[in-house]
A and B are shown apart, each in its own frame.
Chain A
């Protein structure tokens, strides 16, 4: 049986059709691209998603409201805190719960640390896709510190399951605050190192500058979110423009693409926006640690919560952009429908229309710069 997607490939001309993936070193997981190439130049790259579908949304209808929380970790394993948070916010709205202030701060701290960790993987692997292998272990080294911090906080290094409906699972352990501050001091001096290590590398700038430009209008039309949207010059960040949790209490910059190495919205802008965002996140963590209020970390929630019938949406600014959970309740202890709207899936949509005229090496840069993560595409 022929795959449906292959019907979109024009077979009349003599172009070579390449299966770029699902086992390919730089597709960032099991993603397939059907690529029509004329020598090194792409005619078209058609993303073929669905290799990592695990029916997570369906599972959300089968298990109870609190039971779905560990599954949300698997929606985006690199930024599991946000996947937790989006779902928690959606269900809290259904249950009309008020989350304690301290829990909101702890969520912000954990999420921003997770954002740094996620962006570190993103920019490190992006450098590796461009051919510079050395920055990747340096990125992972810093991520290791964050993993240690988060492990001390919730006992897990990848799939955290830290948030609960109505709060968080654990309070800060002893001495964690100081450890975190030591890390932040170390981390702040890294922007310069990172710039020297790879960002301002002449070859790197030329490989990414002006490549795969996504204009402001295109970015909005295709519904791009998060760093991909901001790199195209759209100044939109949920944390600032539609604050949730504790974010209204913090002051932070939202980096927007400026065409640092060429045109606004090119691969380099998407890369550098992420670099700057990490340091903005570090500022948020610092502020949250300073202002951290005392008090409860969890409100009382029944073991099998039964929200009134209705529907709600929980949106968070994840590392990969706006992550929204749409939860419909029919009044029982299980959700009628759970749906996750994820940034990577939206980013995949634009690849087909940006790809014509790129080179094979540029396609790798484009995929890396959109920071797609396979489980978040397919769920």
Chain B
């Protein structure tokens, strides 16, 4: 169909394409590389070894040992915060770009090649804007609220793995810690809604309290399914109990886990206020919900937490159900063999760590794309429907999955082969579902006269 479109922008200059690629690839990769190097060498044993062998002191009596360990932790904190911020920023660009393609638009295409630099421009804009506090607002709480969210978001990175040995602290109560700490985000939203002294913000706060606290329950119970299967709450322990190949993932190894994944994922969507559960900030109902009155840097923090949570929820689901960083065809004892016994790990081990990080990041990004896809597909549900869905369907279903898993574990201990059979069968089911989905998508596109699959013009 001929349409009077505005003229296309001029070709992006070559230096700008180069700069964009350098930033797009360089920034996340350099952060991940720093994490890759930093996290294994700041383990207490490694620090003690460094003090003993390199500096020639006895770490037990050397007075600066704790300071060195603390400095390493601060450095890790800064890098992890950087990763969260960069990921959050890039996700806003990705979301706008994907939304554009889904909506038959182009999306951002001016700042940098493919509009990539737009997220930096946005961040800069938010930093430079005036930090307004409404005259009638509760000043202290209003200013403090975004930081509750930020803390709740950043602390989850403590137990979120990036790779086989790449984790800030593999706490024994990892999964429990994440559930507990993400609840801090709700406090931020509630405080923001209350202290803004705006009725729209208050509505957002109400809704958020009702929603997030309700959905913590099915999320928590469905999280118990992989925990039961692994027999540990530690994040790395849960991943080590799975394997690299799809039929070794928890999600397929147990029919109840297959259901539990969807319950968990739905609850996570609700906890992260993503569509169809974006009621606390429903723009067509509540203007902007709990952050109606925020501007500048403080709004930026809310925004960062919202988009950074994409990584947290996806990484959590990947960890619990989809085999985490496990590389297909690589077993636990091979990791030990590659590590060897030398105090400093050999190059092959570093390569394996990088590969495990790549696997984990790729899986997580796939799930992030699913979240974005859901957001631009579904309408928002109403608050009573949201509560019904949680209490009438998700909570009982999560309990059923939990009970089924208990029995399933008994069955597995009697007949170990049943786990592999379930894994293969459910993997095939998932494969067929994906194939059917792709076929349906293709048919939908071609059923309209004049439409075609077009991935050009990014």
B384 touches A141 (CB 8 A): no
How many Å lie between the Cα of A141 and that of B99 in the bound state? Answer: 15
A134 touches B383 (CB 8 A): no
How many Å lie between the Cα of A24 and that of B286 in the bound state? Answer: 8
Instruction: Tell me which of B99, B275, B383, B450 contacts A131 (CB under 8 A).
Output: B275
Which residues 191-218 in A have Cβ within 8 Å of B in the complex?
A: 192-193, 196, 198, 201, 203-204, 206-207
A186 touches B447 (CB 8 A): no
State how many angstroms separate the Cβ of A262 from the closest Cβ of chain B. 14
Which residues 305-348 in B have Cβ within 8 Å of A in the complex?
A: none
Q: Which residues of B contact A203 (CB under 8 A)?
A: 276, 378-381
Which residues 361-391 in B have Cβ within 8 Å of A in the complex?
A: 376-385
A134 touches B102 (CB 8 A): yes
Q: Which residues of A contact B203 (CB under 8 A)?
A: 40, 360
State how many angstroms separate the Cβ of B385 from the closest Cβ of chain A. 6
Asked if B103 is at the interface (CB within 8 A of a chain A CB), the reply is: yes
How many Å lie between the Cα of A80 and that of B246 in the bound state? Answer: 59
Q: Which residues of A contact B81 (CB under 8 A)?
A: none
| Interface locus among B50-58, B159-167, B254-262, B277-285 | B277-285
Closest Cβ neighbor of A196 among chain B residues: B444
Q: Which residues of B contact A18 (CB under 8 A)?
A: 199
Q: Mark B416-455, 1 if CB is under 8 A from A, else 0.
A: 0000000000000000000000000000100111100000
Instruction: Tell me which of B3, B4, B199, B278 contacts A16 (CB under 8 A).
Output: B199
How many Å lie between the Cα of A193 and that of B104 in the bound state? Answer: 14
Instruction: Tell me which of B103, B207, B450 contacts A186 (CB under 8 A).
Output: B450
How many Å lie between the Cα of A131 and that of B279 in the bound state? Answer: 9
Which residues 222-259 in B have Cβ within 8 Å of A in the complex?
A: none
B448 touches A207 (CB 8 A): no
Q: Mark B394-429, 1 if CB is under 8 A from A, else 0.
A: 000000000000000000000000000000000000
State how many angstroms separate the Cβ of A123 from the closest Cβ of chain B. 13
A137 touches B383 (CB 8 A): no
Closest Cβ neighbor of B283 among chain A residues: A25
Q: Mark A125-148, 1 if CB is under 8 A from B, else 0.
A: 001111111101110010011001
What secondary structure prevails in chain A residues at the interface with B? Answer: helix
A145 touches B1 (CB 8 A): yes
B1 touches A132 (CB 8 A): no
With A131-B278, A137-B104, A193-B444 as contacts: A359 and B383 at CB distance below 8 Å: yes
How many Å lie between the Cα of A141 and that of B104 in the bound state? Answer: 8
Q: Mark A154-193, 1 if CB is under 8 A from B, else 0.
A: 0000000000000000000000000100110110111011
State how many angstroms separate the Cβ of B198 from the closest Cβ of chain A. 10
Q: Mark A345-361, 1 if CB is under 8 A from B, else 0.
A: 00000000000000111
Is the interface on chain B under 10, 10 to 19, 20 to 34, or 35 or more residues?
A: 35 or more
Closest Cβ neighbor of B382 among chain A residues: A361
State how many angstroms separate the Cβ of B98 from the closest Cβ of chain A. 11
How many Å lie between the Cα of A24 and that of B282 in the bound state? Answer: 12
How many Å lie between the Cα of A25 and that of B203 in the bound state? Answer: 16
How many Å lie between the Cα of A186 and that of B452 in the bound state? Answer: 13
A130 touches B385 (CB 8 A): no
Q: Which residues of B contact A130 (CB under 8 A)?
A: 284, 379-380
Q: How many residues of A contact B (CB 8 A)?
A: 45
What secondary structure prevails in chain B residues at the interface with A? Answer: loop
Instruction: Tell me which of A134, A192, A359 contacts B103 (CB under 8 A).
Output: A134
B448 touches A364 (CB 8 A): no
Asked if B24 is at the interface (CB within 8 A of a chain A CB), the reply is: no
A360 touches B285 (CB 8 A): yes
Q: Mark A30-60, 1 if CB is under 8 A from B, else 0.
A: 0000000001100000000000000000000
Asked if A26 is at the interface (CB within 8 A of a chain B CB), the reply is: yes
A40 touches B383 (CB 8 A): yes
State how many angstroms separate the Cβ of A190 from the closest Cβ of chain B. 6
Q: How many A-B residue pairs have CB under 8 A?
A: 103
Q: Which residues of B contact A185 (CB under 8 A)?
A: 449
Most B Cβ at <10 Å: residue of A39, A132, A133, A144: A133
State how many angstroms separate the Cβ of A17 from the closest Cβ of chain B. 9
A189 touches B104 (CB 8 A): no
Asked if B124 is at the interface (CB within 8 A of a chain A CB), the reply is: no
Closest Cβ neighbor of B376 among chain A residues: A134
State how many angstroms separate the Cβ of B75 from the closest Cβ of chain A. 41
Asked if B213 is at the interface (CB within 8 A of a chain A CB), the reply is: no
Q: Mark B266-305, 1 if CB is under 8 A from A, else 0.
A: 0000000001101000111111000000000000000000
Asked if A362 is at the interface (CB within 8 A of a chain B CB), the reply is: yes
B103 touches A138 (CB 8 A): yes
A128 touches B449 (CB 8 A): no
Closest Cβ neighbor of B203 among chain A residues: A360
How many Å lie between the Cα of A370 and that of B71 in the bound state? Answer: 63
With A132-B379, A204-B379, A359-B382 as contacts: A186 and B1 at CB distance below 8 Å: yes
Q: Which residues of A contact B4 (CB under 8 A)?
A: 148, 151
Asked if B2 is at the interface (CB within 8 A of a chain A CB), the reply is: yes
Asked if B125 is at the interface (CB within 8 A of a chain A CB), the reply is: no
State how many angstroms separate the Cβ of B440 from the closest Cβ of chain A. 9
B449 touches A361 (CB 8 A): no
A131 touches B1 (CB 8 A): no
A133 touches B444 (CB 8 A): no
Asked if B350 is at the interface (CB within 8 A of a chain A CB), the reply is: no
State how many angstroms separate the Cβ of A363 from the closest Cβ of chain B. 8
Q: Which residues of B contact A127 (CB under 8 A)?
A: 379
Instruction: Tell me which of B99, B103, B284, B384 contacts A26 (CB under 8 A).
Output: B284
How many Å lie between the Cα of A151 and that of B2 in the bound state? Answer: 13
State how many angstroms separate the Cβ of B96 from the closest Cβ of chain A. 12
Closest Cβ neighbor of B210 among chain A residues: A40
Asked if B177 is at the interface (CB within 8 A of a chain A CB), the reply is: no
Asked if B147 is at the interface (CB within 8 A of a chain A CB), the reply is: no
Closest Cβ neighbor of B278 among chain A residues: A131
Q: Which residues of B contact A141 (CB under 8 A)?
A: 104
How many Å lie between the Cα of A185 and that of B105 in the bound state? Answer: 23
Residues of A within 8 A of B (CB): 16, 18, 24-26, 39-40, 127-134, 136-138, 141, 144-145, 148, 151, 179, 182-183, 185-186, 188-190, 192-193, 196, 198, 201, 203-204, 206-207, 359-362, 364
Sorted nearest first, the 10 A-B pairs with minimum C-beta distance are A131-B380, A132-B379, A137-B103, A26-B284, A130-B379, A131-B379, A129-B284, A189-B449, A361-B382, A193-B448
24 contacts between A and B (CB under 8 A): A25-B283, A25-B284, A25-B287, A40-B383, A131-B275, A131-B284, A131-B378, A134-B102, A138-B104, A141-B104, A148-B2, A186-B450, A190-B448, A192-B448, A193-B444, A193-B447, A201-B379, A203-B379, A206-B385, A207-B382, A360-B286, A362-B382, A364-B284, A364-B285
Residues of B within 8 A of A (CB): 1-4, 99, 102-105, 199, 203, 206-207, 275-276, 278, 282-287, 376-385, 444, 447-450
Given contacts A132-B380, A145-B1, 18 further A-B contacts (CB under 8 A): A18-B199, A24-B287, A25-B283, A40-B207, A127-B379, A131-B275, A131-B282, A132-B379, A137-B103, A137-B104, A137-B105, A144-B3, A186-B450, A192-B447, A193-B444, A201-B378, A207-B379, A361-B383
